[in-house]
Amino acid sequence: MLQREEIVVVWLKRDLRLHDNEAVYTALNSGYKVIIVYLFEPSLMRDDHYSKRHWDFIKQSLLDINEALQSYNSKVLSISSEVIPFFSYLQTKYKIINVYSHQETGLLKTYNRDKTFKRFCNNNSINWFENINNGVFRARQNRENWKEDWENYMISAQLKIKEENIKFLIDMDEIMKIEENSKPMSLDVIENPMFQKGGRVLALKYMLSFFKDRYINYAKFISKPNQARESCSRLSPYLAWGNLSVREVYQYAKKIRIEAENKRAIDAFMSRLRWQAHFIQKFEMECIMESESINKGFRKLKKDISIKYQEAWKQGMTGIPIIDACMRCLKLTGYLNFRMRAMVVSFFTHNLWQPWQEASKFLSKVFLDFEPGIHFPQLQMQAGETGINTLRIYNPIKNGIEHDPEANFISKWVPELKGLPINFRHEPFKLTLLEQKLYGFKIGKDYPKPIVDISSTRKKASDTIWGMRKDKDVIQESYRILNKHVTK
């Protein structure tokens, strides 16, 4: 019987980079031959939380890594397979000593997959090492010392690969042999200029351009749907899919702050890096948020499903211009600034009075930067169902006028309104019949009437949710949540 060669495997997930990647770093320092693999799991590719834009971004990220490895005659083994069948096959060719990956704070589906893989490793005498990802810690019961632990992680040394260790990667000939007996995934992508492109090279360009001059207006324009597209960092997809580590961005920001023209803007940005970790940590500690309200008292809240309302919202045809502009923009570009994201969720859950769960999969599919640990806690917070956060029911008309005063954002994404005066671009439903004739524009034909009355629906939502916050179960749960998730 032939002796199988001993190897270790790096299993990439949401850490699509070589630099400051503990799994890659540790594997290359192990002294064994190393295979880096990304698995396009059919069960995940079919999952309703994901869409083509995510898989294209991942493929672009892998191509970027492969470009870096080309001169070393190696690449990432990109395979279409579920996890257990792939590793079972790989076991027939090699003796797998260790598998390295990060602790993924993902969907219930990926968590169950990981538990199954853990059993597989135990049964096959494989050591599986999962490293901390971006300062999010597993098995925490509360937030005692969490802030200090996160900050210590952020200031710790970045992990840089030693060039002499790259020789341990298996070469292209061996990779091709593995591909011959498996299902290699084509990484070809038809690029869409409307989406940010994946990969570390471009991620670094975004980071450098932000800290060079774009950051100066970060705080000033963070709520503006048009200006935020440039003044915000736009690093969210690169952090969500791991082209950059949060640690390297944090340390670069800290370095730039020393001589920064606008230190407050840098501080505001850095606070949001911790904000990101805070929410992912919350989801890590209470993953039931994927499907149920974290505050059990709010599970009593019942809302009637309206497919008509939901479809109008998804298509950007609600008759509320700023909402429709946001939804159309999001569908076509995958990006929307934070305030507008909060507003469209508020409109869905409060004005349309739909359960946040009904928005979850649609939004995750269109957000290019879909990050489960932020997605689900934020949905519940904006829906007002945590019991501990201030209830915010956004007035979309007021927000449109305040943050898009010239209606430029509305005009771009709802072009049927651009021929109207600015005030009517915000509120076309206020046009009189005579004015509609004057502008050659008919409400209900050229643009829909509002599907709900903003004022009355806002009052209903406010009265109902504030009323529920007095419920003894909601109050009891609020204390539990504060005790578990608030930093001590």
CATH 3.90.1150.10 describes domain 5-180:
no
What residue type is 139 in one-letter code? A
Identify the residue whose tokens are 């005790």: 483
What residue type is 474 in one-letter code? V
Mean of per-residue pLDDT scores for the chain = 97
3-state secondary structure of 380: helix
Please give the pLDDT value at position 471: 95
Q: So where are the chain's domains? A: 5-180, 200-285, 289-485
Q: What is the pTM of this model?
A: 0.97
Fold classified for 200-285: 1.25.40
pLDDT for residue 1 is more than 80: no
Please give the pLDDT value at position 405: 98
pLDDT digits (tens, 9 = 90+) for 77-124: 999 999 999 999 999 999 999 999 999 999 999 999 999 999 999 999
> How far, in Å, are 77, 184, 420, 443 from residue 437 at the CA level?
63, 60, 12, 10
Fold classified for 289-485: DNA Cyclobutane Dipyrimidine Photolyase, subunit A; domain 3 (1.10.579)
pLDDT digits (tens, 9 = 90+) for 264-283: 999 999 999 999 999 999 99
pLDDT for residue 2 is more than 80: no
pLDDT digits (tens, 9 = 90+) for 448-467: 999 999 999 999 999 999 99
Residue 232 token pair: 């915000």
pLDDT for residue 488 is more than 80: no
- Count of CB atoms within 10 A of residue 365's CB? 19
CA distance 375 to 262: 30
